[in-house]
Amino acid sequence: MKLVEPIVAWQAEIAAIRRDIHAHPELAYEEVRTADVVAKKLESWNIDTHRGLGVTGVVGTIHGKTQNGHAIGLRADMDALPMQELNTFGHASKNPGKMHACGHDGHTAMLLAAARYLAEHRDFDGTVHVIFQPAEEGFSGAKKMIDDGLFTLFPMDAVFGMHNWPGMEVGTFGVIPGPMMGSSNTFEIVLEGKGAHAAMPHLGVDPVMAAVQLAQSFQTILTRDLDPLDPAVLSITQIHAGSADNVIPNSASMRGTVRTFSDKALDIIEKRMSEITHLGCQAMNCKAEFTFHRKYPATVNHARETAFCANVLKGIVGQQGVNQSVRPSMGSEDFAFMLREKPGCYVWIGNGDGTHRTQGHGMGPCMLHNGSYDFNDDLLPLGASYWVELARSWLADAASH
């Protein structure tokens, strides 16, 4: 494993920053303290720092020894989740109901370490923009930064992201071209029937049975309308109706999520769900209100940039440490918005099996969005070294063409 030596020497310092951020988690667009930590560190390293993009976002700009018009963006997310931490170790959350259960504290720390090295050495031509993004967890912080002018104020040729991945061995990475993460979408259906005594159902219109019929019919979209080689998930996660055993209610509601790797599959699912809802309810004498929300698109890696990242990673951890056949996830990631604007690549860095957690960790597994999760500090010099080598290699390659 070839790590950047100064970063290795900084590991304890980087870990202290990471654990401080972990102990003070902040939710979407509330990352004021976290942004302060980031901005003050960048400024102390003489990095041009811009605050307030995307409400609480921070962008640092590091100029190389010469300027040739080429620039690269490296992105980390900063927000935490609205959940209670189960860990009791020293750096556990001090903010009740808020937790860094997805490793954004580690992502931020790794990018800070890379920024420090790049600023101290500036052994590259061109520009590196380090992007510290708010509100990844369901609130489209990446899109907000873009809408606020991220790529206009900070022009860049390509943009890159990284996320820790529990279950993958430390010292390994996963990366594939094409879809890496699924799109995230939600739906809500409100069914209006006519209430009646449950012993006299013929006098009413039962919205509960309509909901049951819809739940079953929706699955035929996946099995009969979609290309079997274009994966998708349609999960009904909530059905609410009724208040008594002997009453057919006036209304029922359904909610759930749809995940896809392609816009084509998503278009088909939304269209067919709407048709089945309205025609099915018409057949059962119900009225229906169907709402479909497209939240995050699929995270789709660009082929050239993916191949480039894979080669950089092989130079750090060897070919055996880079899994180029990793299975994509139907989880979602708003870095997808950046990849729709600029070429780039999103990689996973192995977070291990959880044995890195010290005494005082919760009893659950060390998985993302779990109250027992903790980022593995052994990743800090590795992830930071990847950022440094990627930035230097990408800019050197761009200058040669």
Residue 346 pLDDT level (bands cut at 50, 70, 90): very high
Instruction: Give pLDDT tens digits for 130-168.
Output: 999 999 999 999 999 999 999 999 999 999 999 999 999
Q: How far apart are CA 234 and CA 258, in angstroms?
A: 5
Residue 358 pLDDT level (bands cut at 50, 70, 90): confident
Instruction: Give pLDDT tens digits for 30-56.
Output: 999 999 999 999 999 999 999 999 999
Instruction: Give pLDDT tens digits for 18-30.
Output: 999 999 999 999 9
If you write DSSP's letter for every residue of 211-276 in order, what string do you get?
HHHHHHHHHHIIIIIS-TTS-EEEEEEEEEE-SSTTEE-SEEEEEEEEEESSHHHHHHHHHHHHHH
Residue 83 pLDDT level (bands cut at 50, 70, 90): very high
Helices and strands, counts by H and E, the chain = 11, 16
Q: Average pLDDT, stretch 193-219?
A: 97
Kindly tell me if the per-residue pLDDT of 63 is higher than 90. Answer: yes
Q: Average pLDDT, stretch 240-265?
A: 98
pLDDT at 37: 98
Q: Average pLDDT, stretch 94-117?
A: 98
Is residue 79 within a helix (H) or strand (E), and if so which, with residue range?
Answer: none
Mean pLDDT (the chain) is 97
Kindly tell me if the per-residue pLDDT of 352 is higher than 90. Answer: yes
Kindly tell me if the per-residue pLDDT of 401 is higher than 90. Answer: no
What residue spans in the chain does CATH classification 3.30.70.360 cover?
A: 184-296
pTM for the model stands at 0.95
- The fold of 184-296 is Alpha-Beta Plaits (3.30.70)
User: Could you tell me which CATH class the domain 5-180+298-399 is placed in?
Assistant: alpha beta
Q: How far apart are CA 346 and CA 301, in angstroms?
A: 6
User: Which residues, including other chains, have CB under 8 Å from residue 140's CB and lie 6 or more apart?
Assistant: 295, 296, 334, 337
What residue spans in the chain does CATH classification 3.40.630.10 cover?
A: 5-180+298-399
Q: Average pLDDT, stretch 365-392?
A: 98
Q: Are 199 and 318 in contact (CB under 8 A)?
A: no
pLDDT at 225: 97
pLDDT at 113: 98
Q: How far apart are CA 171 and CA 164, in angstroms?
A: 11
For 125, list phi and psi in degrees, rounded to 5: -105, 135
Name the percent of the chain lying above pLDDT 90.
99
Name the percent of the chain lying above pLDDT 70.
100
Residue 103 pLDDT level (bands cut at 50, 70, 90): very high
If you write DSSP's letter for every residue of 109-146 in order, what string do you get?
HHHHHHHHHHHHH--SEEEEEEEEE--TTTS-HHHHHH
Residue with tokens 């020293």: 90
Q: How far apart are CA 235 and CA 238, in angstroms?
A: 9
Instruction: Give pLDDT tens digits for 227-249.
Output: 999 999 999 999 999 999 999 99
Bridge partner list, 255: 188, 238
